[in-house]
Structure 1
């Protein structure tokens, strides 16, 4: 059973896009407002290091992000509905704020660029971001807001090329994201 699970995990491999396809899809990706994904998130800070499971559902400007540890226990649920940002911690306590990044940092010490990540996770740079493109004109690296993103793989989902692996670093925080499943609506 273990061998089968191990082989299945190793079988996931990013595919190569035909030249020029990324530019043709940028408009479609920027209009993609409803999606969800499942991923593994590695986080390294000066105080801790860990591996988490991430489930993220985006619906226009609203979202729900759920992080669990390796045994399935909730680390936190973060959601935005309208202008309200709410975080439910591992003890079930609810915290609210206007800004998700500040709320997460206040409660966990983690610097997570939640608002920007909704675009970056689709491979879309922001207007002021510095971008280096790969041979298929997809983002290879993005520098923005003190963050450095490195896209390590893409996969095709419903005809669109989406990131499958990326590393993010900011000062002494490093995030490694391996996306195992995308669902587009």
Structure 2
């Protein structure tokens, strides 16, 4: 009986050790090149938006393919808020009524139609935990971005998860003046 209890305890401890796995120091720096070369990916997340006029919780689906992307936002009952796509230099937004809008700048298009200040172009990098060249960055004890200050935005990375050997953000807060975004990523897919 004692041996069985010891084996159960060892199995339990090994399970805890696996769950508590942490990135080795400097691992983000080692994967930075891989992140920069990660051009095809998709994710699902919950997005909280807080502005002076409203607050809401949305579901976010993002698919990236090189410089092209699709960003789909739906409300809690699954109704489309908007579907934003970029192909080449063309940016299109399909609103909740199914009407198509076009522009050259995604952020300005979203602002004009929703009043939300979303850093759409930067998000494709920040979501991966990859700061831009001119961004001011602080790092956590594992060498991963902890905060980024850029383009008037302040980002805080609140969690990372390991996907196919890469440490990718799982939760982040973004603040710009009176706009606050909370992103909780539930699923990452590479390739």
> Same fold by TM (over 0.5)?
yes
Q: Secondary structure at the match of 1:32?
A: coil
TM superposition shift of 1:115: 0.5
Corresponding residue for residue 14 of structure 2 = none
| Corresponding pairs, count | 173
| Aligned equivalent of 1:141, options 147, 160, 163 | 147
Matched ranges for 1:5-154 at <5 A: 16-154=22-160
Q: In the aligned structure 2, how far is the partner of 1:166 from the partner of 1:14?
A: 20
User: Are 2:174 and 1:171 equivalent residues in the alignment?
Assistant: no
Whether the aligned pair in 2 keeps the contact of 1:14 and 1:155 (CA below 8 Å) is no
Q: In the aligned structure 1, how far is the partner of 2:172 from the partner of 2:150?
A: 15
Q: 1:129-158: CA deviations, max 9, x gaps?
A: 000000001000000000000000000001
What are the ranges of 5 or more consecutive residues in structure 2 without an aligned counterpart?
1-18
TM superposition shift of 1:14: 8.8
What are the ranges of 5 or more consecutive residues in structure 1 without an aligned counterpart?
1-12
TM superposition shift of 1:16: 2.6
TM superposition shift of 1:17: 1.1
Highest Rg: 1 or 2?
2
Whether the aligned pair in 2 keeps the contact of 1:45 and 1:173 (CA below 8 Å) is yes
RMSD: 1.1
Q: Secondary structure at the match of 1:128?
A: coil
Runs ≥4 in structure 1, deviation > 3 angstroms? none
